[in-house]
Amino acid sequence: MSSQPLPVLMVVPTGIGCTLGGYAGDALPSARLLAAASGCLITHPNVMNGAALYWSDARIHYVEGYGLDRFAAGDWALRPVRQQRIGVLLDAGIEAELAQRQIQVAEGCRATLGLEIGPVLTTDQPLEVSLEQGSSGVSWGRLGCPDALLRGGERLKQAGATAIAVVARFPDDPDSDELAAYRAGSGVDALAGAEAVISHLLVRHLQIPCAHAPALAPLPVDAQLDPRAAGEELGYTFLACVLVGLSRAPDLVAADAGVIQVDQLGAVVAPAGALGGEAVLACLERGVPLITVANASVLQVTAEALGISSSVLPASSYAEAAGLVLALREGVSSAALQRPLTALEYLV
């Protein structure tokens, strides 16, 4: 008889240029492998969203970053559902033709995938997204009218939406050096930090699943495009993956009301240089095994920098991390897999 699922949290922070997970959906293969190894993977849209590409797996729970932090802190729990009713919130700053492209994606997901979508609402003011980059290279952003976002979310929830997909108009900068570097396979996703601001605000305010898709003008064809960036250039919108992810995203409920609670976590998997996030630190405080994966980014918040080297299980790849998860699930000591095998400790 196979062992019971071992809930595992996979975190790849957004907007920090991770070698694996720094592009739209390029961490998906690793998430699929960790889901197979654990039987129950909890991760966030940055890992799962592949623009026009997506993957649906009942073993993977799609939880927005703020909700994931609250789960790891023990404030919220997760309750799996068969289906969410997804309200669509469009930024009033989106041009009419580009807005219609978003609606066509939603209609296509209804007709082809059988998703429950609606109602649709346009914000009462443009959201006025601006993009920034910190001195470390991490991307972030601002909203000129955050109240318009929250008002729109409230109206959709009152109208019966149990999850919300937001599409905001992001600035176009097709000739920037940063975009050219990103498309060529280096640099940081300039949109990711601002996307996190939008989804965090809504989830904190409404406590329902939310995720964001940027609205941008199509880019010219680039023959030298890095394969990791290719998924972002397949269509006019990034909305399809968000709708699929939200369609079965778990409800965010009180800590004592969920089916999946933080006390059940068997491990957390995170990039070795990005260990300073709230979810990872909360898991460490609870004694959840931390698997650190060699996955370079602009950050260097390592186990050594935090003074926790003895508390982590290092992995050179997500394939190795999946092996460590499987060992934890099967009750196999990770030390028994290493050579040389250290001697038993004697108390005196």
pLDDT digits (tens, 9 = 90+) for 145-169: 999 999 999 999 999 999 999 999 9
Residue 214: band (very low, low, confident or very high) from pLDDT cuts 50, 70, 90: very high
Q: How far apart are CA 274 and CA 282, in angstroms?
A: 14
Domains of the chain listed by start with CATH number: 8-80+255-337 (3.40.50), 85-252 (3.40.50)
Record the pTM.
0.94
Q: What is the mean pLDDT of residues 222-233?
A: 87
State pLDDT tens for residues 69-119: 999 999 999 999 999 999 999 999 999 999 999 999 999 999 999 999 999
Q: What is the mean pLDDT of residues 248-264?
A: 95
Least confident of 26-35, 69-78, 218-227, 274-283: 218-227
Q: What is the mean pLDDT of residues 275-295?
A: 96
Question: In degrees rounded to 5, what are phi and psi of residue 121?
Answer: -140, 140
What pLDDT, on a 0 to 100 scale, did the predictor assign at position 174?
81
Q: How far apart are CA 154 and CA 171, in angstroms?
A: 26
For the chain, what is the HEC assignment? CCCCCCCEEECCCCCCCCCCCCCCCCCHHHHHHHHHHHCCEEECHHHHCECCECCCCCCEEECCHHHHHHHHHCCEEEECCCCCEEEEEECCCCCHHHHHHHHHHHHHHHHHHCCEEEEEEECCCCCCEEEEECCCCCEEEEECCHHHHHHHHHHHHHCCCCEEEEEEECCCCCCCHHHHHHHHCCCCCCCHHHHHHHHHHHHHHHCCCEEEEEECCCCCCCCCCCHHHHHHHCCCCCHHHHHHHHHCCCEEEECCCCCECHHHCCEEEEECCECCCHHHHHHHHCCCCEEEECCCCCCCECHHHHCCHHHEEEECCHHHHHHHHHHHHHCCCHHHHCCCCCCCCCCC
205, 79, 74, 33 alpha-carbon torsion, rounded to 10°: -110
Contact present, 77 and 260 (Cβ < 8 Å): yes
Residue 31 in this model has a pLDDT that exceeds 70: yes
What pLDDT, on a 0 to 100 scale, did the predictor assign at position 234?
84
Contact present, 69 and 276 (Cβ < 8 Å): no
Residue 253: band (very low, low, confident or very high) from pLDDT cuts 50, 70, 90: very high
Residue 1 in this model has a pLDDT that exceeds 70: no
Least confident of 115-124, 234-243, 278-287: 234-243
Residue 42 in this model has a pLDDT that exceeds 90: yes
Q: If we measure between CA atoms, which residue out of 221, 200, 225 comes closest to residue 211?
A: 200
What pLDDT, on a 0 to 100 scale, did the predictor assign at position 205?
98
Residue 2 in this model has a pLDDT that exceeds 80: no
